[in-house]
A and B are shown apart, each in its own frame.
Chain A
Amino acid sequence: NAGVTQTPKFQVLKTGQSMTLQCAQDMNHEYMSWYRQDPGMGLRLIHYSVGAGITDQGEVPNGYNVSRSTTEDFPLRLLSAAPSQTSVYFCASSYSSGGNGYTFGSGTRLTVV
């Protein structure tokens, strides 16, 4: 039982490049979310999903796309990386609507130069 697995752990991109951050969970959780963490700003919700085939925008969705074709996977795509997207990205999953608390992955540290 691996919990929430994020890959890669570190990534450096050039401005304008695209990439996909991977997130997989093996707990059969319905709810999954992506957050970004910036110094002094806590965690901000990018996109979330309440089940396979269903996604919605969070607080800071611009520049990011998501899809949820399976219960297990919830990849986050950066379409054209910008320096403002330099951050630590966390994927999280939960059985229910977050009331029991999300389980977080260990994060992906992304630097855009």
Chain B
Amino acid sequence: GQQLNQSPQSMFIQEGEDVSMNCTSSSIFNTWLWYKQDPGEGPVLLIALYKAGELTSNGRLTAQFGITRKDSFLNISASIPSDVGIYFCAGRRAGTASKLTFGTGTRLQVTL
């Protein structure tokens, strides 16, 4: 089955730095979602995107729906220690009802 290509797989950054990650697919998606997962917990929705080119923010997080509809990007500005976790992108193709396809995740670690 298809999974989304997410990069980087992991990153170590210093507190205060900005973070960028992306997600790409060979298929067109009509919805892109970004989730964060803390250890021992389920993923929590951060941002949802519904239109090509859409740019949406949630506090220090900003995500964009790529204009080709085959990619999406997540930026975190001025990272803090609680940003540590795994970030997943997820996409939904037209006509696939409730089925989401998930990326393989980006593990973020923030050092002081």
Q: Which residues of A line the B interface, CB within 8 A?
A: 4, 31, 33, 35, 40-45, 48, 50, 58-60, 90, 92, 94, 97-107
Known A45-B1, A101-B35, A107-B41; 9 more pairs at CB < 8 Å: A31-B98, A35-B102, A44-B3, A45-B100, A92-B42, A97-B98, A98-B99, A101-B33, A105-B42
A-B pairs with beta carbons under 8 A, tally: 73
Give the residue name and chain of the B residue nearest to A58 (CB): B99
By the criterion CB–CB under 8 Å, are A48 and B99 in contact?
A: yes
**17 A-B contacts, Cβ less than 8 Å apart?**
A31-B98, A33-B98, A33-B100, A42-B4, A42-B104, A42-B105, A43-B90, A43-B102, A44-B1, A50-B97, A59-B1, A98-B100, A99-B31, A99-B92, A102-B45, A104-B44, A107-B40
B residues 52-90 touching A (CB-CB < 8 Å): 88, 90
**Distance between B70 CB and nearest chain A CB, rounded to angstroms:** 17
- Mask of B4-44 contacts with A, CB within 8 angstroms, 1/0: 10100100000000000000000000010101000011111
How many angstroms from the CA of A98 to the CA of B41 in the assembled complex?
A: 20
Q: Which residues of B line the A interface, CB within 8 A?
A: 1, 3-4, 6, 9, 31, 33, 35, 40-45, 48, 50, 88, 90, 92, 97-105
Residues of B within 8 A of A33 (CB): 98-100
Residues of B within 8 A of A31 (CB): 97-98
Give the residue name and chain of the B residue nearest to A45 (CB): B99
By the criterion CB–CB under 8 Å, are A106 and B31 in contact?
A: no
